[in-house]
């Protein structure tokens, strides 16, 4: 049966389109062989990366040049934005550095993509599972980019509100940066556009990286599901087949399943090599940022609280998606052992049974992705990070409540 509802290229084309807006070439392509062609092809990517690096540096300088007693809420907001930019820069730096591994990973997925399947069940697995996950990633990416623009255009709405209601001309920026001139003077429109594209680039760095991870895990889980179905019918069922079971055909099918399982294990190692350390950094920074945004949300009222609630949800969703897809891999890889046991192994030769025992034993060890061997990427880790964030929040709330110079006004 031909798989027609979805193709491999459809599962990653939206990620390539996101990367195109920040100058990053298609993910499955390797770097050009010559330095000149490499520089020409990646010119806009280098420009955009330096652009964002300068913004992150300017955010840090803004904090460093202000007295700590000025406004604690202002510092927390800057900590969140600097952390977000830093993680985004790290994500793209690592993807650029590991471009060869990334292109190898995607070529492997392309090579084993099932254009044709044997049964209607296999076709349903490929088309439904991958179509659902791809559409989810597309909607998630689109909504995240829209949310990024909405968040960074809120100051425009504030300025219009003050102009229409109070008749005041005020100027505000999406976030604070240090510049060697007055950013609210004649250069204000250019500074705002500079920050707006910067925000778009950072959001794309995050969302494209996260979507790439989720789609890679979706491909891997889809192949594990196909492997489960193949193992269930690896032996001719004597109850459904009038002719006796063919030991040679059974063994060939089993060898094919073992080779597929080994291939998926190697691909899992590629995925961990590309994503593991960045996800560790993302988990660590997110635990702090969730705490900071939660504190800002809890200590503000009305409109400002709603703004930080939206940001709080964005951090939670990003963290949850990593852990959800990591859990998907754990569940699907561990189910291989059950599928092997459900086959008609009892009607085969002694040699086949011994090999099947080894297959079941090996499959009982789930394929677990880790964040630098420190955290498993699973729903249990999501719970642990939220627990740690709550502890940080309680400590922050207790400590700041005792400071004599706490101020509520400004800085938001």
Residue closest to 22 by CA, chosen among 2, 42, 6: 42
Integer CA distances (angstroms), 368 to 91, 145, 225, 268, 327, in order:
21, 30, 16, 9, 8
Question: Which residues, listed in sequence order, are joined to residue 371 by a DSSP beta bridge?
Answer: 375
Indicate the average pLDDT of the chain. Answer: 86
User: Do 1 and 123 contact (CB within 8 A), yes or no?
Assistant: yes
| Distance (Å, whole) CA 144 – CA 150 | 10
What is the tens place of the pLDDT at every residue in 21-56? 888 888 888 878 787 888 888 899 999 899 889 998
What size, in residues, is the chain? 412
pLDDT at 68: 55
Residue closest to 340 by CA, chosen among 242, 228, 250, 240: 228
First to last CA, the chain: 58
> Which of 58-72, 343-357, 360-374 has the weakest average pLDDT?
58-72
Instruction: For residue 112, give the 3-state DSSP assignment.
Output: coil
Is the pLDDT assigned to residue 409 strictly greater than 60? no
pLDDT at 71: 64
Per-residue DSSP letter, 347: G
**Cβ burial, residue 96 (10 Å; 0-12/13-18/19+):** middle
| Distance (Å, whole) CA 31 – CA 268 | 23
pLDDT at 380: 93
Residue closest to 138 by CA, chosen among 23, 221, 26, 15: 15
What is the tens place of the pLDDT at every residue in 266-315? 999 999 999 999 999 999 998 888 888 888 888 777 777 888 888 888 88
User: Do 377 and 370 contact (CB within 8 A), yes or no?
Assistant: yes
pLDDT at 62: 85
pLDDT at 37: 84
pLDDT band, very low/low/confident/very high, at 80 (cuts 50, 70, 90): confident
| Distance (Å, whole) CA 293 – CA 84 | 12
| Distance (Å, whole) CA 343 – CA 353 | 11
Q: Which are the contacts of 344, defined by CB distance < 8 A and separation ≥ 6? A: 235, 236, 237, 238, 245
Angle, vertex CA 152, rays to CA 146 and CA 158, nearest 5: 120
Residue closest to 312 by CA, chosen among 320, 75, 72: 320
Share of the chain above pLDDT 70, in %: 93
* Residue spans of beta strands (DSSP E) within 78-189: none
pLDDT band, very low/low/confident/very high, at 369 (cuts 50, 70, 90): very high
Token reading at 110: 């392309």
CB neighbours of residue 167 within 10 Å: 7
Rounded to an integer, the average pLDDT of 65-75 is: 67
């Amino acid at each position: 049966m031909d798989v027609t509802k979805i193709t491999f290229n459809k599962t990653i084309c939206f990620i390539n389109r996101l990367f195109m807006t920040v100058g990053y070439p298609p993910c499955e392509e390797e770097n050009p062989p010559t330095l000149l062609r490499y520089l020409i092809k990646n010119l806009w990517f280098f420009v955009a990366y330096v652009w964002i690096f300068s913004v992150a540096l300017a955010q840090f300088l803004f904090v460093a040049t202000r007295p700590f007693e000025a406004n604690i809420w202002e510092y927390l907001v800057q900590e969140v934005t600097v952390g977000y930019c830093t993680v985004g820069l790290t994500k793209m730096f690592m993807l650029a550095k590991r471009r060869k591994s990334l292109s190898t990973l995607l070529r492997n997925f392309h090579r084993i993509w099932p254009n044709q399947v044997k049964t209607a069940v296999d076709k349903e697995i490929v088309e439904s599972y991958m179509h659902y996950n791809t559409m989810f990633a597309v909607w998630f990416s689109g909504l995240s980019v829209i949310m990024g623009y909405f968040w960074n255009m809120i100051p425009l709405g504030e300025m219009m509100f003050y102009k229409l209601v109070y008749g005041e001309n005020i100027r505000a920026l999406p976030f604070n940066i240090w510049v060697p001139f007055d950013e609210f003077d004649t250069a204000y429109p250019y500074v705002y556009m500079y920050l707006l594209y910067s925000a778009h680039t950072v959001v794309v760095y995050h969302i494209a990286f996260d979507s790439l991870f989720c789609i890679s895990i979706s491909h891997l889980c889809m192949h594990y599901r196909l492997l489960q179905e193949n193992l269930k019918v690896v032996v001719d069922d004597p109850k459904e087949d009038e002719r006796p079971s063919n030991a040679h055909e059974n063994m060939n099918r089993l060898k094919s399943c073992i080779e597929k399982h080994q291939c998926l294990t190697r691909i899992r190692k590629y995925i961990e090599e590309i994503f593991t350390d960045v996800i560790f950094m993302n988990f660590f920074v997110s635990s702090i940022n969730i705490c900071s945004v939660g504190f800002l949300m809890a200590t503000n009222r009305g409109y400002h609280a709603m703004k930080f609630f939206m940001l709080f949800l964005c951090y939670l969703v990003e963290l949850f998606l990593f852990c959800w897809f990591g859990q998907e891999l754990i569940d699907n890889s561990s189910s291989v052992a059950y599928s092997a046991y459900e086959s008609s192994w009892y009607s085969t030769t002694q040699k086949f049974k011994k090999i099947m025992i080894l297959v079941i034993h090996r499959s009982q060890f789930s394929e677990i992705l880790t964040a630098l061997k420190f955290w498993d990427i699973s729903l249990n880790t999501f719970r642990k990070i939220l627990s740690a964030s709550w502890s940080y929040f309680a400590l922050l709330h207790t400590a700041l409540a005792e400071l004599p110079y706490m101020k509520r006004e400004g800085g938001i």
